[in-house]
Chains A and B, each alone.
Chain A
Amino acid sequence: MNARQIIDRLDIALALYGQTVTLQRTAIDASTGAITVTQEVTCPAKFRTFFPQDLQAGDVQDITVILSPTSLGGFGLPSRDDRIMIDDNPSNVEQIGPLYFNGQLVRVNLLCRG
């Protein structure tokens, strides 16, 4: 088993069981607070949504996302300034968990909230 094989397996799994999401790199206008998208990439991802188990009604949910480095390309590793669009609904990227095998990026786990 090497890094390439791990990525290939992940790519196949995402193609079979994943869904398309869009990662957006955003910039904030310091004078107005307006959000502009400076870069984006559309890629397959597997995600799972967790609803908060409390009695207070709300719309905010936690989402775990699995991405392959293959589809990230020039976008590179997501950062906490990025957003992710799932079914046209934006969520904030709050935690990034890159997984490396033998020094090579083989998978990216994200924790998103939105």
Chain B
Amino acid sequence: MTDQREAILSRLVTICGAVAGINAADRNRLDVSQMLRPAVIVLDGTERTVTPPLTNARGASVSDKQRMELLPQIIIALRGDSGGEAGTLLTLYRNKVLAAILTDATLLASVTPNGGIRYEGCVVPAPDAEAREYRIDLNLVFTYIFSLGDL
């Protein structure tokens, strides 16, 4: 069996890298090599319990399974210039990346019938005054079953 968390995260990088127009995708880095743009950076983010393992009347665990949420941070970075407005491009790649993630059969299979993928919104941080770098952070929640037997 595969660790579900790792399966989801590594698949995310593959999906994002395959989106048309994206020039680089990397994981757990502050920037991609050669500052290629547009680029996607996937940060592993937070994993937390949603439903703890079942317990008996004495509180002892009777199952090795629990429902988890994974909240990776997906950053789309692109370069703008003084000739145009970057917001349109941010929206374009937000749509492309979201569509690719939310419809990917492998990823949907990774979250099993008891889980799911939920889009929770996005944030565009204020750019540095001097920079031509723009980014949008996508917030997705992956719910899946964590099983001790998968480790």
Residues of A within 8 A of B (CB): 26-28, 30-35, 56-60, 79-81, 89-92, 94-95, 111, 113-114
Contacts and interface: CB of A to CB of B under 8 A. Distances in A.
Given A35-B37, A92-B35, A92-B131, A30 B84 contact: yes
Contacts of A34: 21, 23, 38
A89 B35 CA distance: 8
A55 B106 CA distance: 36
B131 A94 contact: yes
8 nearest A-B pairs in the assembled complex, by CB-CB distance: A94-B130, A58-B30, A81-B81, A33-B38, A33-B89, A33-B78, A28-B81, A30-B84
Interface size class of B (residues with CB under 8 A): 20 to 34
B21 A30 contact: no
A35 B79 contact: yes
Given A90-B35, A92-B132, 17 more contacts: A27-B81, A28-B89, A31-B92, A33-B78, A33-B79, A33-B89, A33-B92, A56-B30, A57-B30, A58-B30, A60-B30, A60-B31, A81-B82, A92-B35, A94-B128, A94-B131, A114-B35
B58 interface: no
Contacts of A111: 130
Interface-central residue, A27, A30, A59, A113, by most chain B CB under 10 Å: A30
A79 B82 CA distance: 10
Contact of B130 (A28, A35, A58, A95): A95
25 contacts: A26-B81, A27-B81, A28-B79, A28-B80, A28-B81, A28-B84, A28-B89, A30-B83, A32-B38, A33-B37, A33-B38, A34-B38, A35-B37, A57-B30, A59-B30, A59-B31, A60-B30, A80-B130, A89-B34, A92-B35, A92-B79, A92-B131, A92-B133, A94-B130, A114-B35
B72 to A, nearest CB: 18
B34 A59 contact: no
Contacts of A94: 128, 130-131
Interface in B89-142: 89, 92-93, 128, 130-133
Interface in B20-43: 21, 23, 29-31, 34-35, 37-38
